Amino acid sequence: MKSKFVSNIFAIFFGAALVSYFFLPLLAMGRFAFQVTPVINLTWDNLFEGWKFDSITRALLNPKVLETATLTGGLTLLTIFITLLALLPIATFVEVARPGWKPWLTAVTILPWIIPPVALVVGVAATFRPFAPWFLSNPLSLSFFYAIWMLPFSYRAIAGQLSMIGAKTLFEASQSLGASTLSFFFKVLLPNIRNSLTVATLLIVAAVTGEFTFAALLLKQTFPVYLIDLQSEDVRSGYALALLVIVATAVLLSFVTSSLRKRGGQFNAIGV
């Protein structure tokens, strides 16, 4: 009985610490972005006074915000397309026809997180700059780096569910019924791995919309890069916009996980 009481106390303390760790900084950001009363002048009497939302209005009306957000949105869509186009056929082929290659493919997909982003950018840039300078000069080239960077997560999201549904068994069954490889891929496989594709897509969206290192090193002004500049130009607008992005990402994550659970899926590290 005593051990149970101690464990409950520990769980409550841990939960309170976790909530404080995540939500207190957000509350501080919100107060700084929207309340014009200085902290030194705050009292219990004026705690709810002086709240204005013109900072977020200025941020949303900033043409540079719209420009960089559009670029980041395009990079997100292109990264999703490149990742799924390259990874899904390879992961399916290995699962169905070459299961012995899975440890090697897993090891390869881990490399982007073993190699530091700075080294990855410098190495790839040095490779492409002599004979394809147009590639690095185009902001859309960032999608190539993002696709590589997200390999450890997107591969596990897809490979986990391919293994769970028994893709090899499904392929053999479809072949015995006379289905072609393309029919199996589009009519059998894709409907059965929708959850993992959703997870992989959401991870890419969350990563690309917040990625700073690659864009800054390649001198591309994406939304996260300009957000830092905005915080030096108009600090309240910068913090208000950053808070809006955090809240929007949390709402998107909650919506997707809720949708997955309603369909009987789970949102976890292996994408099932």
Q: Pull the structure tokens for residue 2.
A: 């005593």
* Domain presence at residue 180: yes
198 with 257, same domain: the answer is yes
State both tokens at 228.
Answer: 């830092």
H or E element that contains 195: helix 194-208
Confidence check: pLDDT of 91 > 80: yes
The predicted-structure confidence for 202-214, as pLDDT tens digits, reads as follows: 888 888 888 888 8
Report yes or no: 66 and 227 within 8 Å, Cβ to Cβ.
no
Asked if 72 and 201 sit in the same domain, the reply is: yes
- Coil, strand, or helix at residue 129? coil
73-87, 91-105, 123-137, 192-206: the lowest-pLDDT one:
123-137
Q: 38 with 135, same domain?
A: no
Residue 142 lies in a domain: yes
In a domain, residue 267? The reply is no
Domain coverage including residue 6? 1-52
**Could you tell me if 153 and 253 lie in one domain?**
yes
pLDDT for 159 equals: 85
1 and 121 both lie in a single domain: no
Judge contact between 118 and 47, C-beta under 8 A. Answer: no
pLDDT tens-digit map of 70-90: 999 999 999 999 998 988 889
In a domain, 152, yes or no: yes
Q: Are 133 and 30 in the same domain?
A: no
Structural domain includes residue 269: no
Which sign, positive or negative, has the C-alpha torsion 156, 158, 163, 165?
A: positive
What Å distances lie between residue 44 and 25, 26, 29, 59, CA to CA?
20, 20, 19, 30
Q: Max alpha carbon distance in the chain (Å)?
A: 77
Q: Give dist(CA 246, CA 33) in Å, integer.
A: 14
For residue 269, with 0-12 CB atoms within 10 Å meaning exposed, 13-18 middle and 19 or more buried, which class applies? exposed
Q: Which residue has the tokens 């700059």?
A: 129
Q: Does a structural domain hold residue 272?
A: no
Phi-psi region of 166 (alpha: psi -120 to 50; beta: other; left: phi over 0): left
Is residue 121 domain-shared with residue 214, that is, in the same domain? yes
User: How far is residue 99's CA from residue 97's CA, in Å, rounded to a whole number?
Assistant: 6
Mean pLDDT of the chain: 81
Residues 71 and 162 in one domain: yes
φ/ψ of residue 161, rounded to 5: -80, -30
Which domain-ending residue is among 52, 72, 91? 52
Same domain, 43 and 81: no
Distance CA 223, CA 210 (A): 8
Residue 223, in any domain of the structure? yes
Contact assessment for residue 162 and residue 99, using Cβ atoms and an 8 Å cutoff: no
Residues 89 and 218 in one domain: yes
Task: Specify whether 150 is located in the same domain as 106.
Answer: yes
Return the CATH number at 138: 1.10.3720.10
* Helices vs. strands in the chain: H and E counts, helices first: 15, 0
Give pLDDT tens digits for 98-108.
Answer: 888 888 888 88
Residue 270 in domain = no
Are 70 and 114 part of one and the same domain? yes
How crowded is the C-beta side of 228, counted as CA atoms within 13 Å?
A: 11
What confidence tier does 269 reach under pLDDT thresholds 50, 70, 90? very low
Report d(CA 23, CA 30) in Å as an integer.
10
State the total domains in the chain. Answer: 2
Percent of the chain with pLDDT over 90: 6
